[in-house]
Amino acid sequence: MPDPIALVPLPRSVVWSEGTWETTDPWEGLSVGLNSDLPLTEYSLSISPQGAALTAGSEAALADGRNTFAQIVTGANGSIPCVTIADSPKYAWRGLHLDVARHFLPVEEIETFLDAMALHRLNVLHLHLTDDQGWRVEIKGYPRLTEVGAWRDQTLVGRMDADEDSWTFDGVRHGGSYSQEELKGLVEYARKRGIMIVPEIDLPGHMQAAVAAYPELGNFPEQKVGVREVWGISDHVLGVSDQVFDFLRDVLTQVAAIFPAPYIHIGGDECPTGEWERSTAARARLNEWGLTRISEIQGRFTTYASEVLREHGKRVIAWDEVLETHLPDDTIIMNWRDPAGVTTATDRGFQTIVATSDLLYLDHYQAAPADEPLAIGGRTTLEDVYTGRLLPKKLGGDQERLILGLQAQLWSEYLPDASAFQYMAFPRLCALAERAWGSPAQSYAEFEERLRAHLPRLDAFGIRYRPLDD
């Protein structure tokens, strides 16, 4: 029989059968239980005219099963088709990254993203909480991080051309931050939906907002720096004093206490070394550490952050640049720059998350730029996300086993509000979810048709997605 209900991502095995379950309260009628005979990641859902039963090998798999059940019962109007589903994900890490630093998203808007993630059985929200253009997390003992670092006086309008004289600014103060209590609330909201939140404190680069708040954290404290009002990469990176390392210890310790996830992301991307090269203090430190290459200062940061976080039972995740300097063996690499980086990282034995910009940066245009809102560049269509090659061709079995999963990135330089975030996320995130889940491969035409029937579920959450092409 034809599928009576479109499911996205498609479960591994779905067998529809004749008959319906007539009920006005399907959630009340669903029996739920753990089953230790099932693998930890697997759930089994059956709906018969007599009722519905969900069993799973773990709480996480139960959450997946509930999220599939939600797709079946919403919109079924009390007459629910019978089905047997056996399902488990391909990847443990099915992630979405939200850059709430370049543009702040209110808590309720993050909750809407969490609702939509759960609908697609995505299970990790990576929150990019700090960057040059804004510091978004309350850190006790450092009030200026949010009083000063969370606000910029104005923002560049339009694209950041090379010619600085052509830049214009909007004159509008932008910012905001999350209290520790708000973040704990979000963690709980996510947990109830089967989602783990992994915070990122981007270091030692992308720190201009912190340096604006506390100039002594920079390399040249006498130099006054504001929160950055343009995009690109700032030269103002962390300095190397004991005070800076004490600051990092305080920040990472507090962040570790807010987020129960066993991982913390420490950024590590795009850290220019110019200030360290010009700083006599940095050179002296390098000598003291017995190092010769200035770039190795970054390795000291990676190692230090990892040691602090290990004391709190956390493992470090970082962008792939950290592979270029010293790093602990248990670091998890988030590969973004080059698809071949997945080979490099796994060859060296590092667990790796595939977040590569060519297919998984959802700030890229999703159709011809002339017809789309201004974006950072690139072009990645829905079909690209559904069909594109995500892993390098020649990856051995040992290397594949080191791949934790897939993650889509929403960088927000050109996403001024929640509606813009949603437009870029959907429906491409539906395709990413299907691939991260490891749904049985279908033709793109089949996926598109199924997606067309699925999109009203996004409407129900008030999500303003990009409509499918006719």
Nearer to ligand ACM, 319 or 421 (CB): 319
Nearer to ligand ACM, 304 or 336 (CB): 336
- Contact pick of 269, 372, 384, 449 for ligand ACM (by CB under 6 A): 269
Please give the Cα distance from 280 to 282 (Å, whole number): 5
Should residue 338 be labelled a site residue for ligand ACM when binding is judged by CB under 6 A?
Answer: no
Q: Is the dihedral of CA 129, 134, 136, 138 positive or negative?
A: positive
Considering the complex, what minimum distance in angstroms separates the CB of residue 334 from ligand ACM?
Answer: 8
Please give the Cα distance from 296 to 124 (Å, whole number): 31
DSSP string, 184-243: HHHHHHHHHTT-EEEEEEEESSS-HHHHHH-GGGSS-TTS------S-S--S-----SHH
Residue 363 DSSP symbol: T
Residues 405-424 that bind ligand ACM (CB under 6 A): none
Nearer to ligand ACM, 32 or 230 (CB): 230
- Contact pick of 111, 235, 270, 448 for ligand ACM (by CB under 6 A): 270
Considering the complex, what minimum distance in angstroms separates the CB of residue 363 from ligand ACM?
Answer: 9
Nearer to ligand ACM, 43 or 411 (CB): 411
Instruction: Give the residue at shortest CB distance from ligand ACM.
Output: 269
Should residue 319 be labelled a site residue for ligand ACM when binding is judged by CB under 6 A?
Answer: yes
- Contact pick of 336, 350, 423, 447 for ligand ACM (by CB under 6 A): 336
User: Closest by alpha carbon to 108, among 425, 422, 445, 429?
Assistant: 422
Please give the Cα distance from 451 to 218 (Å, whole number): 49
Nearer to ligand ACM, 137 or 271 (CB): 271
83: enclosing H helix or E strand = strand 79-87
Considering the complex, what minimum distance in angstroms separates the CB of residue 367 from ligand ACM?
Answer: 22
Residues 6+ apart with CB under 8 A from 373: 414, 420, 423
Should residue 111 be labelled a site residue for ligand ACM when binding is judged by CB under 6 A?
Answer: no
Please give the Cα distance from 238 to 219 (Å, whole number): 6
Nearer to ligand ACM, 131 or 296 (CB): 131
Catalytic residue positions, numbered: 270
- The amino acid sitting at 111 is E
User: Closest by alpha carbon to 239, among 211, 212, 209, 269?
Assistant: 211
Considering the complex, what minimum distance in angstroms separates the CB of residue 269 from ligand ACM?
Answer: 4
Please give the Cα distance from 372 to 424 (Å, whole number): 10
List of residues contacting ligand ACM (CB under 6 A): 269-270, 319, 336
